[in-house]
Chains A and B, each alone.
Chain A
């Protein structure tokens, strides 16, 4: 079985996004499992700063040499920061998905939504279920 990195300090979604709390903002990216499944990332389309996203709705698109997938907002709120470096260096998602490969930061509109996210054991189970 392949080895997937799942950092302790993050929360996760069913769609393989991770969320890191930084003050009132939630930084969002995709997990190591997701980037390994997608393969070489060639393009990431992200929303402009100031746009408003709703939990579960597509906020962007990620394209690899194998597939194109929507990116789903893990929480609702306003996009306050966008990783514009990904436009020229989408491979950062492969190389450092929890660091330089971050995508957007959302100013969360309702703290309650955080409860719907998965913790590390739950997400590890979710990954294991799909990587037999």
Chain B
């Protein structure tokens, strides 16, 4: 390399740097390791990670540990689906387009709405896009966001709305964990009410009441879903009056992967399809009458409408969408519902154990799905530390999210939580040492 740049030696290369500024000895780093030694060292480092396969896992709060059948990876990694990038050319992209169409169909079924896009980046950006969509439809600028929407989602909404003439109004939480009555917060200038279902505290919101409060003033109701599996069991937000339903689809066969990539979804009513952001795949027939799939209504999108597009999103979450579509197809309508019932049963068992334990409380009384708040004595951090000592990740410390609840944890029980693990968690949180 020295020869190529016309320098005689390393010394000559650095001749312009004064001697006193140069290191006069070799760098104090270990000698180069062999590949075998490197693999051994990194394996040892990786073994120190705490994850849902190494520990009993009760942490959710927006990213959920679910069992993923091996068939999901096997099908999603077939080479026919590789390079699942922009399927503009319908002639060569029927597989990808059909997978997206199936996803849209299933999201419509789960949300109770009429049209779904081809996915978004994640739940947080989908929530922000939904707020923007409601502002476009209503031509209004006020957005009422429940305090019980995931704190990270609320931050992303604030970021997206900054720079627009938008006003965000916070809707407080009631004592039972649900969002307090919205009357008084919604008026003729409100574009939408944005509610999470189940909310960040695990409580199941009264979607129908929120829809009535929003619609009374011509505002839209946006429901954002953090734990998509809940859609298999709860009445669909669309059937309860929600105008836009969006959220995080990671629960559907996408690994937690240290927090991403995730998978946003978004559905709405046909009347507002032209205000929907993102790609949309439609079903059609070719010249010979055979079924086929194409990107449709692209004129909403950035590559055609430029700065006047509905959104700057001009892609979709192709691979994660494919995994989720395969996952949902494998489980089917009945399987998904049974899985959701199992999650609910685990949570109800855990809540019963908490209720029967003197040192623990359930500070919020609203119904829940697979996640709920547990009050502990002393400090929540200490309770989590006790759990970790016995191989349990016990949940999320709520000290910085809801100090008014006192020492408390957000605990999640998916189908991965065994009865024995729940018993051990309750014992550890209560203060018993092994």
Contacts and interface: CB of A to CB of B under 8 A. Distances in A.
B304 A68 contact: yes
Given A48-B139, A68-B299, A70-B308, 8 more contacts: A43-B274, A43-B299, A45-B274, A58-B308, A61-B308, A63-B299, A68-B304, A68-B305
11 contacts: A43-B274, A43-B299, A45-B274, A48-B139, A58-B308, A61-B308, A63-B299, A68-B299, A68-B304, A68-B305, A70-B308
A70 B305 CA distance: 10
Nearest to B275: A45
B272 to A, nearest CB: 12
A43 B300 CA distance: 12
A51 to B, nearest CB: 8
Contacts of A61: 308
- B contact face: mostly helix, strand, loop, or mixed: helix
Contacts of A45: 274
A43 B139 CA distance: 19
A74 B406 CA distance: 63
Interface in B298-337: 299, 304-305, 308
A82 B69 CA distance: 55
Counting chain A CB atoms within 10 Å of each CB, the highest count among B299, B304, B305, B308 belongs to: B299
Interface of A: 43, 45, 48, 58, 61, 63, 68, 70
Contacts of B305: 68
Contacts of B139: 48
Contacts of A63: 299
Interface residues of B, number: 6
Interface of B: 139, 274, 299, 304-305, 308
B144 to A, nearest CB: 22
A106 B125 CA distance: 38
Nearest to A69: B299
A5 to B, nearest CB: 27
A70 B304 CA distance: 12
Please list the 8 inter-chain residue pairs (A to B) with the smallest Cβ-Cβ separation, ordered nearest first: A68-B299, A63-B299, A68-B304, A68-B305, A48-B139, A43-B274, A45-B274, A70-B308
Counting chain B CB atoms within 10 Å of each CB, the highest count among A45, A48, A63, A70 belongs to: A63
A68 B139 CA distance: 21
Contacts of A58: 308
A58 B308 CA distance: 11
Contacts of B299: 43, 63, 68
A58 B305 CA distance: 13
A48 B136 CA distance: 12
A61 B305 CA distance: 10
A70 B308 CA distance: 10
Contacts of B308: 58, 61, 70
A130 B116 CA distance: 41
Contacts of B304: 68
Contacts of A48: 139
A61 B304 CA distance: 13
A68 B298 CA distance: 10
Contacts of B274: 43, 45
A58 B299 CA distance: 16
A100 to B, nearest CB: 22
Contacts of A70: 308
B191 to A, nearest CB: 14
A43 B304 CA distance: 15
A43 B299 CA distance: 10
Nearest to B299: A68
A57 B322 CA distance: 42
A123 to B, nearest CB: 27
A48 B304 CA distance: 24
Nearest to B298: A68
A22 B139 CA distance: 29
A12 to B, nearest CB: 25
A43 B305 CA distance: 14
A45 B308 CA distance: 13
Nearest to B139: A48
A81 B330 CA distance: 53
A69 B408 CA distance: 56
Nearest to B271: A87
A68 B305 CA distance: 8
A52 B348 CA distance: 57
A104 B175 CA distance: 51
A61 B274 CA distance: 11
B311 to A, nearest CB: 16
Contacts of A68: 299, 304-305
A68 B304 CA distance: 8
B275 to A, nearest CB: 10
A104 B247 CA distance: 38
